[in-house]
């Protein structure tokens, strides 16, 4: 039976302050829980309903597993339609960005992306296209926010997320920088080469003005219709697709 203390701890992890305090975050859903179990992350404990337990096979003995009722699970889940499996996972430690290791590849850079669903979709998209690193400004939404974790569908367990002082990072890097803006060279006429940083801006404001002069090349997705702008997750997907197309040529 779940105690009030357990329920209080798990529900408090909706808040970044308590995720940092306890150094753990929540993963929900059978598929996502199994993805983290089979990753480099350390899973502390899994809570599961009897029905979900039948689908959680081969859980290592060092991971605590507690069976809970459907009613109890409703109290700890943040989802409207819970799948009956929830894991407490330790936050990654010493997650410092080594700029030297970025050479020879493309990486996504996010400037103050705020929507959890957008970040989650970008992480999932990055994994699909083989991009292993996403570098975020300090003001970007926390990647371990439950809504972000849910939207990644397990991809967060394999994509590295870093939070940096973005202006300082761009100044220090020698990698080519490509900024996604409404005005710039067409993405389909831009040679992205073998390495570089693809910088995507905030949902409402785009890339911050102080960062634009530091960008080597501004790139745009040509607009044919009348829409004012593209969703940042959609735009990132188009950039990733074009990078992939150029590499496969």
What mean pLDDT comes out for the span 71-86? 95
Task: Give the containing element (helix H, strand E) for 160.
Answer: strand 160-164
Whether 125 and 237 have beta carbons less than 8 Å apart is answered as yes
Task: Give the containing element (helix H, strand E) for 170.
Answer: helix 166-172
Summarised one tens digit per residue, pLDDT across range 163-220 is 999 999 999 999 999 999 999 999 999 999 999 999 999 999 999 999 999 999 999 9
What's the rounded Cα separation, in Å, for the pair 202 and 207?
6
Summarised one tens digit per residue, pLDDT across range 34-44 is 999 999 999 99
- The pair of structure tokens assigned to 87 is 């894991």
pLDDT at 99: 86
Q: What is the pTM of this model?
A: 0.95
pLDDT at 26: 98
């Amino acid at each position: 039976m779940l105690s009030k203390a357990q329920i209080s701890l798990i529900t408090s992890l909706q808040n970044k302050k308590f995720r940092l305090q306890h150094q753990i975050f929540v993963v929900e859903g059978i598929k996502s829980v199994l993805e983290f179990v089979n990753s480099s992350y350390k899973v502390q404990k899994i809570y599961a309903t009897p029905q979900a337990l039948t689908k959680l096979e081969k859980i290592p003995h060092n991971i605590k597993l507690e069976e809970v009722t459907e009613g109890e699970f409703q109290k700890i889940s943040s989802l409207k339609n819970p799948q009956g499996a929830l894991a407490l996972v330790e936050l990654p430690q010493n997650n410092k960005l080594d700029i030297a290791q970025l050479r020879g590849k493309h990486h996504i850079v996010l400037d103050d992306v705020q929507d959890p669903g957008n970040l989650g979709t970008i992480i999932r998209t990055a994994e699909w296209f083989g991009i292993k690193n996403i570098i975020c400004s300090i003001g970007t939404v926390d990647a371990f926010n439950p809504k972000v974790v849910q939207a990644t569908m397990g991809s967060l367990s394999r994509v590295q997320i870093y939070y940096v002082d973005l202006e300082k990072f761009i100044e220090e890097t020698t990698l080519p920088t490509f900024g996604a803006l409404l005005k710039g060279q067409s993405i389909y006429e831009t040679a992205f080469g073998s390495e570089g940083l693809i910088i995507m801006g905030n949902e409402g404001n785009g890339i911050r003005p102080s960062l634009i002069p530091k960008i080597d090349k501004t790139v745009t997705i040509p607009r044919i219709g009348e829409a004012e702008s593209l969703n940042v997750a959609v735009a990132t997907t188009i950039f990733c697709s074009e990078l992939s197309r150029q590499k496969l040529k």
